[in-house]
């Protein structure tokens, strides 16, 4: 097979950041995705309809000329979020709300403590038909970082799903066999996104031969048996699992220091990375459902009408990207060769 034509895909989980970074991140995503669910963990976070609308306008201003790319906005839940906030956001066209346990990832310090306190908000979301997007990790210091997703399922996710059976829940960027099992066995109101890094890598790629900061993300890469569970479920063609890059830009100097900011910037080669995965799995025909259909179906949105074409053409992911202000950023899979390339990018 020398080319793959598929319905134009969507990215159901990514980070654009804000201000000067939008000139890089928005065009990188718009080159191959028609829509994207935009994470709200800015500084300060996007906590109400007015802020979401203003952020949408900044993203739209950064779109390439003639681009029809559509950002789908989200609200950042806090312990101060009210049912009225949900109603206002829904009326303003905000697509979903994001639950970060406080301290779980980048810019999440203002997020939720005491998740059960938000049950009235979840009830309002269920009534409005607004999906709940969950970063599913506990943050207790005594819980091993490799077990935090598993423990979150047991202590928080299962009770939320049981209490709100008609609330659409997206278990974001899943990393474990336990997450695969939970989502697979749950109702059709529960789905999950999977990133390219968690399909392509495992914790050996983070730790063996020295720490590799540009492979550091949260949730952290897990052992290869969990990676295989993710690969198996996307290879199965299950409609409950769909594309979400969790692309998250950080300047090189912020990744390569003691802080080691979490996040992989994959937007620059996202659809090609997923094509690489499905070729490794031996069935590139499964890519279209995962990338272009199952997410739209879950969100109750129309599938895109256009198409994109990937051609077999070996190319190397750049070692770095230089932003307009001169800052360097290292993309995910930097320096490595991919076998598929978006036709328009050749």
pLDDT at position 106 is 61
345 pLDDT band (50/70/90 cuts)?
low
Enumerate domains of the chain plus CATH numbers.
10-305 (3.20.20.140)
| Three-class SS state of 338 | strand
1-11 tens-digit pLDDT: 899 999 999 99
- Average pLDDT, stretch 130-145? 94
Residue 65, exposed/middle/buried by CB under 10 A (0-12, 13-18, 19+)? exposed
Q: Tell me how far apart the alpha carbons of residues 138 and 104 are, in angstroms, rounded to a whole number.
A: 7
- Average pLDDT, stretch 247-264? 90
Torsion angles phi and psi, residue 112, rounded to 5: -85, 130
- Average pLDDT, stretch 159-187? 98
Residue 303, exposed/middle/buried by CB under 10 A (0-12, 13-18, 19+)? middle
Residues with catalytic function? 246
Annotated binding site for substrate: 15-17, 41, 135, 218, 250, 262
44 pLDDT band (50/70/90 cuts)?
very high
Q: Tell me how far apart the alpha carbons of residues 331 and 338 are, in angstroms, rounded to a whole number.
A: 13
- Which tokens in the block code for residue 79? 């312990």
Q: Tell me how far apart the alpha carbons of residues 317 and 307 are, in angstroms, rounded to a whole number.
A: 23
285-341 tens-digit pLDDT: 999 999 999 999 999 999 999 999 999 999 999 999 988 778 899 999 999 999 999
Q: Tell me how far apart the alpha carbons of residues 279 and 276 are, in angstroms, rounded to a whole number.
A: 5
């Amino acid at each position: 097979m020398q080319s793959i034509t598929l319905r134009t895909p969507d990215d159901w989980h990514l980070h654009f950041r804000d201000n000067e970074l939008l000139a890089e991140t928005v065009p990188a995503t718009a080159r191959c995705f028609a829509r994207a669910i935009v994470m709200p963990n800015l500084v300060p976070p996007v906590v109400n309809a007015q802020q979401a609308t203003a952020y949408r306008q900044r993203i739209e201003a950064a779109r390439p000329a003639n681009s029809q790319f559509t950002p789908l906005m989200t609200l950042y839940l806090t312990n101060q979020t009210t049912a009225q906030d949900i109603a206002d956001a829904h009326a303003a066209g905000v697509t979903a709300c994001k639950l970060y346990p406080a301290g779980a990832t980048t810019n999440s310090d203002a997020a939720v403590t005491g998740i059960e306190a938000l049950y009235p908000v979840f009830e309002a979301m269920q009534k409005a038909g607004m999906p709940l997007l969950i970063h599913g990790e506990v943050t207790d210091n005594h819980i091993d970082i490799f077990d935090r997703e598993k423990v979150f399922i047991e202590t928080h996710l299962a009770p939320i799903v049981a209490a709100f059976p008609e609330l659409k829940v997206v278990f974001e960027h899943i990393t474990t066999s336990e997450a695969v099992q939970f989502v697979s066995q749950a109702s059709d109101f529960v789905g999950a996104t999977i990133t390219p890094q968690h399909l392509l890598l495992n914790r050996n790629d983070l730790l063996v031969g020295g720490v590799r900061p540009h492979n550091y993300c949260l949730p952290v890469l897990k052992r290869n048996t969990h990676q295989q569970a993710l690969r198996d479920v996307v290879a199965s063609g299950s409609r409950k699992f769909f594309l979400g890059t969790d692309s998250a830009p950080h300047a090189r100097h912020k990744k390569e220091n003691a802080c080691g900011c979490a996040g992989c910037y994959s937007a620059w080669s996202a659809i090609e990375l997923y094509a690489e995965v499905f070729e490794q799995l031996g069935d590139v025909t499964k890519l279209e459902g995962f990338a272009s259909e199952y997410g739209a179906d879950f969100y109750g949105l129309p599938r895109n009408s256009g198409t994109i074409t990937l051609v077999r053409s070996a190319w190397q992911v750049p070692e770095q990207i230089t932003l307009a202000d001169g800052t360097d950023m290292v993309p995910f899979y930097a320096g490595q060769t991919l076998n598929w390339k978006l036709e328009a990018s050749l």
